[in-house]
Structure 1
Amino acid sequence: MACFFRRTIALQLARICGQSESVFIPLISAVPVSKKQSTADVRVSVNSLVQIGVVIPDGDLQMITDTLVKQIKLDGVVDEVIAGRGVIHFRLNKLILAQKLLKQLHLEPETFGVKSELLTHLQGGRTLVEFSSPNIAKKFHAGHLRSTIIGNFIANLKKALGKEVIRVNYLGDWGMQFGLLGAGFERFGSQEKLRAHALQHLFEVYVQVNREAKCDESVRLAAAEFFRRLEQHEDQALSLWKQFREITVEEYKRIYERLGVHFDHYSGESFHQSQTHNVLEDLMSKHLLKTSEKGTGVVDMSGGGDMSSYATLVRSDGTSLYITRDIAAALDRKERFGFDEMIYVTDKSQSVHFQQLFHILLAMGHQWAERCHHVAFGLVQGMSTRHGEVLFLEDVLEEARNRMLNNMRRSTTSKVLEDPEQTAERVGISALIIQDFKGPLMSDYKFEWDKVLQAQGDTGVFLQYTHARLRSLLRTHENEKYTCCDVSPLMDNRSISILQHLLRYDEVLLQSARDLQPRHLVNFLFTLSHLVASAHRQLPVKGSSPEVAQARLCLFSSVCSVLANGMRILGITPVERM
């Protein structure tokens, strides 16, 4: 909500209750737009005032509400105050609403909403987000795609709200799988194929060596031997491993660039393998590492000291596990980056792993582990290409682009584009992202290409189409100078509904920041798009008087800015034409 309106109402409540206006600001919210009836613009829950102790619960809630309403003065900004059931409703002066909102959007379109007083407590500090994190030589499955786009959204949101953000891709680049891969490559790998199609060739080698290892003991022994050579930093084994890693990272960078995702650091388990010894020594010195009956090194997770549940950190042969390397990585990151919070984005199957990780870090005395969070997500079924199973992220991007390009060619409303393939790719990626973000992240969902790429309904294609239509309108009238001085022509119901909805933008950003769920922002953008689509049909610019045309252009330009800003936070590149 524009700061002006929230402060105006907060000052009224502060006068009545004898408190600072800052106490009331978080309690004032915009009323969601309703098609059924003309609603108030802003509301305050009286129960929330009672809970924070600024209102004494003298009598029942309705009596308190009625008493407060009688004390509120109409001041030109607030036209009417209505006592609801335990809620105070405020109707704002619509002319002032349009003037203040559109002036702010016209002057500072990029920062609208993100500089709200509701969000000032979220600004500053450093956030580290670990996301994507595929395994080298293994299939880049739908889970890695989800981690990539969810992590990118979280990083974008934190940055938009004033955080310094460090994006880390923690590759699965160590462990026994590299023993198998190395042994397999020495048997039937090809340097030529590796240079030409790195991910595909490594995956083929990995599949073949796994198949042979199941029925050939010598292959398993060769794999164990290769990994032993790797752990002892034997030159030939290490050289081959470095080649696998470097080629793969370069390939991933190219694909991530298509997706509009970048990382500040490419890390991996291999970086922290040498640090696990120090971790284990620290755990032993603190008497946290116990030896189980099987000879493994474990940390008690029971809370009662009875070892009814524990985390295994060392195998019986003395080698470390994934969680040991994760502890080393967390300690190293804290020392190197000095983050205020760290967020891991992985599927929900790893929830127990992160509970154990944070528990162990806290037991070691690292209180900052309380500011480490795991954002978990559900599984995707049915994401495949026309050729069968999805192997890598690039397959998904190619499929999205090709299907979208085909849809655009068949559409009668498609424009002639300079680069139709790039537009198709951006719209296709939007469709993938929005499909993923529509519901709670923890939910599993079934992926269906035809539904994802529909132009009607709540899809990424619809958001892009709405933005492109607004950009087309603004280009058509780009020679007409317009200001937001006279907004009196915007007192119709459709224009007012858009303005009322824009009041909610900062609240939606706050809600998204609190639970790191993109669906709040997605739903806000869908509603905004439906409202402006209706207004675009009913409120023409062409053929209207200069005053009306200017006001409508100001409104449509403002909506276009908010739509583009919200899409960019979600990780979507808005298209100019489609």
Structure 2
Amino acid sequence: MVPLTFLWITFYNLHFIGQCTLQVSRIVGLPSETVAQSIRAVPVHRKHESPDFQLFVNSLLDDSHADANSTVQEKAQKLASKLNCDTVISEIGADRGSVTFKVHRDLLTKTVLQKITQDGPRFGLNTDLLSRIPKGKTIVEFSSPNIAKKFHVGHLRSTIIGNYIANLKEAIGNEVIRINYLGDWGLQFGLLGTGFSKFGSEKELRDNPLEHLFNVYVKINEAAEQDENLRSSAMEFLRRLEGGEAQAVSLWTHFRELSIQEYAKIYKRLGIHFEEYSGESFYREKSQHVLQMLRNRGVLKEMENGTGVVDVSEGQDMSTYKTVVRSDGTSLYITRDVAAAIDRKEKYDFDEMIYVTDKSQQTHFQHLFKILEILGEKHSIRCHHVPFGRVQGMKTRKGDVIFLEDVLDEARTRMLQNMAATSTSKDLEDPARTAEKIGAAALIVQDFKGPLMSDYHFDWDRALQSFGDTGVFLQYTHARLHSLQGLWETKDLTDFNISCLQEPSVISTLQHLLRYDEVILQCLDDYQPRYLVNYLMGLGHLANVAHLALPVKGSTPDVAQARLLFFNNVQMVLANTMKLLGITPVTNM
């Protein structure tokens, strides 16, 4: 029998099972690092007590081993029989092809709580599991609304998904640059420039820039459909703009600056910021340099209609051409995107760049990355597109969603009504601000619950429920745990009686916390926020069970102190994880 004395594994830097990896490595003849990668925390089972860790035997042993004819369960049992319990491990077993380990409960409780207290907001992020991930500089391009056009739900999704990805990258130690790449160029500005002289009002522009520009854009589009001269005027305005004509540029600059000011106010309501507001306009001149690079490489082909195209096929039977320049020489969206990617590499020397847009643009980004490759830009392999599906049913009482501001206002209004109708709601200093934070949480969780690529139907009533797996439930749970702060007499976070924290609800919650870095790693693998949402919901439900089972008021001082420490730490992890998703936790509701 192999003893497990001095067992440890660096999991949250907790010395629980790791020396076991050395013992197992000797038995199976594999490096201890390989063994360690096969050990994971066990998901909590609601109906019975679970072990803490499991070693997946099948990922270690292949058919070349002596016991190749054994079933995976037999292999697990055989390996488990060679290991002994000690002062760290209280039980060793075999279950469905894995060796399972249970840590002595007092050691589990003490070590996890001390680690949370010690690491604070960094708990679960400084682990060996996450340390293997390369760190560097990450650019995340997201939100990217089109000035004067409808701010549709796709831009809302891009905004919150991009912010979550940026938060995630930042949490593991990357330097993150958030870029809002505005649609601030092209034919829409030709139409807008022409339309403003016909339908525009300086007063309405000052009072509500985004709505007025949108209304002007809608009107000129409708008029241009009936009047070819207006469309010609729009093209002429765009040519003047691209040529740098002073009056056209001045009007465009005015529209752009007002729009960014309004966008910044709205993003602030969501707690979102950007290091850079750029746009297609930044690259109108550099896009000409891109065209020259394509000519120099002999890959720019002029068609009979005068347009310029590039073959972006991937060895297919028939060539696929992408138009990169109009017949009049003006640039296109794809050309400006290529110029932007090259410019950002020169400016930031990034290690990866992530574009967050809806799935309708997948082909566009495939072409973008291919053109970068054709140009010999080696960083093209470091560029990634994170696509997402569409949302149906996102309407406000005013009708279809036009601006993000309408969505936030609707969420706040509905939440205020729900709070007013709830007898347990507390008197708040700023109920509207609280309602806005809760409403934003409801929007984010509703959006993040499923796979990003899936289309889904948005339901206001379901999103704003205070029970079930909703953002409102998370905010309620956090506020409930935070309210216990007022019961501290002496907030000593190091002195507590371990024997006062051995209840099943405590152990289940601590076991759940052991899985934190595994969930973060899973999110980093494909950027799906649903893993983090599911983890948060599990933590929230476990915390509420513990809150009911472990009263603080009326308990002896030792018990009260220990329980307050436990709830304080759970609340800390809950808050930090909510912030990763882009949710601002509330302390009262």
Q: Which residue of 1 aligns with 2:278?
A: 267
How many angstroms does 1:486 deviate by? Answer: 2.2
Query: Scaled by the length of structure 2, what TM-score is found?
Result: 0.95
Alpha-carbon separation, structure 2, partners of 1:66 and 1:292:
70
Find the counterpart in structure 1 of residue 111 from structure 2: 100
Residue 337 of structure 2: aligned partner: 326
1:311 counterpart SS class:
strand
For the pair 1:360 / 2:371, whether they are aligned, the reply is yes
> Does the 8 Å CA contact 2:199/2:219 hold for their aligned counterparts?
no
Question: What is the aligned counterpart of 1:249 among 238, 260, 263?
Answer: 260
Q: How big is the shift at 1:7? A: 2.8
* 1:411 counterpart = 2:422: yes
Structure 1 residue identity aligned to 2:12: A
Unaligned runs of 5+ in 2: 1-10
Report the Cα offset of residue 187 of structure 1. Answer: 1.6
Partner of residue 570 from structure 2, selected from 529, 550, 559: 559
Alignment of 1:351-430 (within 5 A): 351-430=362-441
Equivalent positions of 1:447-526 (< 5 A) are 447-477=458-488, 479=490, 481=492, 483-526=494-537
Q: 2:443 aligns with which of 432, 457, 475?
A: 432
Cα distance 1:500–1:104, how it changes in 2: closer, same or farther (>3 A)? same
Matching residue within 120, 123, 136 for 1:109 = 120
Corresponding residue to 2:585 among 571, 574, 577: 574
1:51/1:184 Cα in 2 relative to 1: closer, same or farther (>3 Å)? farther
The secondary structure found in structure 2 opposite 1:48 is coil
Q: 2:164 aligns with which of 148, 153, 156?
A: 153
2:184–2:279 Cα contact (<8 Å) kept: yes
Q: Is the 8 A contact 1:172 1:268 kept in 2?
A: yes
Q: Is the 8 A contact 2:166 2:178 kept in 1?
A: yes
Please list the CA deviations of residues 63-93 of structure 1 after superposition, one character each: whole Å capped at 9, or x if unmatched.
Answer: 4323322222323212122122321111121
Q: 1:545 to 1:515 in 2, by over 3 A?
A: same
Q: Distance in 2 between matches of 1:473 and 1:2?
A: 26
**Distance (Å, rounded) in 2 between the aligned partners of 1:440 and 1:569:** 18
Change (3 A) 1:293 1:9: farther
Alignment correspondent of 1:76: 87
- Pairing 1:128–2:124 present: no
* Inter-partner Cα distance in structure 2 for 1:274 and 1:305: 33
Comparing 187-196 with 110-119, which one deviates more in the overlay?
187-196
**d(CA) in 1 for partners of 2:291, 2:21:** 54
* Counterpart pick for 1:50 among 50, 61, 78: 61
Contact 2:191 2:220 in 1 (8 A): yes
Q: Which amino acid aligns with 1:16?
A: I
2:3 aligned partner: none
Is 2:566 aligned against 1:545?
Answer: no
Give the gaps of 5 or more residues in structure 1.
Answer: none
Could you list the per-position Cα deviations for residues 337-360 of structure 1 after superposition, in whole angstroms to 9, with x for gaps in the alignment?
010000000000001111111122
Percent identity at matched positions?
A: 56
Q: How many residues align?
A: 577
Tell whether the 8 Å contact from 1:43 to 1:90 is kept in structure 2 after alignment: yes
Structure 1 SS opposite 2:537: helix
The 1:187/1:91 distance shift into structure 2, 3 A limit, reads same
Deviation at 1:18, TM superposition (A): 5.0
In structure 1, distance between residues paired with 2:477 and 2:449: 18
Structure 2 counterpart SS, 1:23: helix
Shift of 1:15: 4.4
Letter in 2 for 1:326: D
Amino acid across the alignment from 2:580: I
Distance 2:187 2:112 in 1: 59
Contact in 2 for aligned 1:127/1:340 (Cα 8 Å): yes
Which stretch has the larger CA shift, 362-371 or 349-358? 362-371
TM-aligned CA distance change 1:436 to 1:9, over 3 Å? farther
> In the alignment, which of 311, 315, 336 is matched to residue 326 of structure 2?
315
- Rounded to whole Å, the distance in 1 between the matches of 2:387 and 2:486 is 42
Q: CA contact under 8 A between 1:134 and 1:172: conserved in structure 2?
A: yes
Does residue 232 of structure 2 align to residue 218 of structure 1?
A: no
Bigger Cα displacement from structure 2, 12-21 vs 181-190: 12-21
3-state SS, counterpart of residue 47 of structure 1: coil
The answer (yes or no) to whether the contact 1:130–1:345 under 8 Å persists in 2 is: yes
In 2, Cα distance between the equivalents of 1:47 and 1:566? 32
The range that moved more, 482-491 or 550-559, is 482-491
Q: Which amino acid aligns with 1:446?
A: H
- 1:31 offset after TM fit, Å? 0.8
1:435-468, CA deviations, whole angstroms, 9 ceiling, x for partnerless residues? Answer: 0001111111111111111101110000000000
For each residue in 1:447-500, what CA deviation from the matched residue of structure 2 results, as whole angstroms up to 9, or x when unmatched? 111111110111000000000000001223355545354222221211111011
Q: Report whether the alignment pairs 1:3 with 2:13.
A: yes
1:95 counterpart letter in structure 2:
D
Would the aligned equivalents of 1:126 and 1:341 in 2 still touch at CA under 8 Å? yes
Counterpart amino acid of residue 66 in structure 1: Q
Q: For the structure 1 residues 179 and 90, does the alpha-carbon distance in structure 2 shift closer, same or farther, using more than 3 Å as the test?
A: same
Q: CA RMSD in A?
A: 1.8
User: Structure 1 residue 295: deviation in Å?
Assistant: 3.9
Q: CA deviation at 1:426?
A: 0.5
Conserved 8 A contact 1:27-1:44: yes
Partners in 2 of 1:57 and 1:313 — Cα distance?
Answer: 61
